Amino acid sequence: MSASYPFWLGGVAASMAASCTHPLDLTKVRMQTLTHVAGAKHSTFSIIRASITDLGFRSLYTGLSASLLRQMSYSLVRLGSYEEIKARISKRHKPTTPQLLLTACLAGGLGGIAGNPADILLVRMTSDSVKPPEQRYNYSNAISGLGSLVKEKGLKGLCRGIGPNTARAILMNASQVGSYDFFKSSLLNKTMPVFDYQLKDSLLLHSIASCLAGTVATTVCSPADVIRSRVMSSSSDSTALQILKHSLEKEGPKFLFKGWTPAFIRLGPNTMLMFVFFEQLKKGWGNLQSS
């Protein structure tokens, strides 16, 4: 437990956000992997439309159990560790921007390692429908998928793609959590010129800071996110470097930003919801403790 709220609170906030934005996450993964598999061009809306037409509206929530498992491992550790380390530093002095950045990188790396098995399941479950039938994994839920993964590949299978996934997690935490703290502290008590309104530590400030953080995070994490998705969705034993080399030869450097639009459409609202939920949960927990 940190100074004022539980370690796991960030995981709960991230799970709440993921429940709202899962269809966008699914679309992003399908766009990143479908082009790689089929060699065709697809837009965000064409994938959503095809999913609903072929499989029904419920198909947009395929892999939700893996998404929740991911948030309660990856996000729980990365947010909890960041807040815990930041609280310990704050007891001695006000954390500097470099210290917060290093803290976010460390916490992100820990989260990436903790959430790697759930990440594999999420990528496989959300990309299954765009694969040929003989290449599908057909996991019914995250728990059965976890069992199948261990049965097929052993404990080593849980570490598939851990390199690019951990790199992505470090980039994500630094660019998302680190930039959120930066924007929040920078905008606090600043006056909005158009509305002549001074920003306080409120829902509006949290929303603006989280929206900016989502934009930064989407751009910074896109290359690692694409590589991670392709490694984890692949049924072969190709390494991240092999997939990177092959994709660069076939598609050029622009493939590193495949799915940026659905990634932003998903990560922007997800970042906003996660931090808004997190701030409100912290406030609610504080009120509960003081009552």
Q: Where are the domains of the chain?
A: 9-181+207-290
- Domain 9-181+207-290 sits in CATH at 1.50.40.10
**pLDDT tens-digit series, residues 190-247:** 887 766 788 899 999 999 999 999 999 998 888 887 887 788 777 677 788 888 888 8
Selection from 77, 64, 108 nearest residue 10 by Cα: 77
Q: pLDDT band for position 36 (50/70/90)?
A: very low
Burial label for 50, CB within 10 Å (0-12, 13-18, 19+), is middle
Q: What is the pLDDT of residue 136?
A: 85
Confidence check: pLDDT of 2 > 50: no
Look up residue 110 and give its amino acid.
L
Burial label for 237, CB within 10 Å (0-12, 13-18, 19+), is exposed
* Cα–Cα distance, 180 to 211 (Å, whole number): 9
Coil, helix or strand at residue 234: coil
- The crossing angle, in degrees rounded to 10, of helices 203-233 and 9-38 is 40
**pLDDT tens-digit series, residues 162-206:** 988 898 899 999 999 999 999 999 999 888 776 678 889 999 999
Q: What is the pLDDT of residue 56?
A: 72
Q: Which of 123-132, 184-193, 274-283 comes out lowest in average pLDDT?
A: 123-132
**% of the chain residues with pLDDT over 70:** 90
Q: What is the pLDDT of residue 133?
A: 83
Q: What is the pLDDT of residue 66?
A: 92
**pLDDT tens-digit series, residues 40-91:** 556 666 767 766 776 677 778 888 999 999 999 999 999 999 999 999 999 8
Burial label for 182, CB within 10 Å (0-12, 13-18, 19+), is middle
Are 149 and 117 in contact by the 8 Å Cβ rule? The answer is yes
Confidence check: pLDDT of 127 > 90: no
The four Cα atoms 276, 277, 279, 285 give a dihedral, to 10 degrees, of 160
> pTM for the full model?
0.78
Over the chain, what is the mean pLDDT? 85
Confidence check: pLDDT of 268 > 70: yes
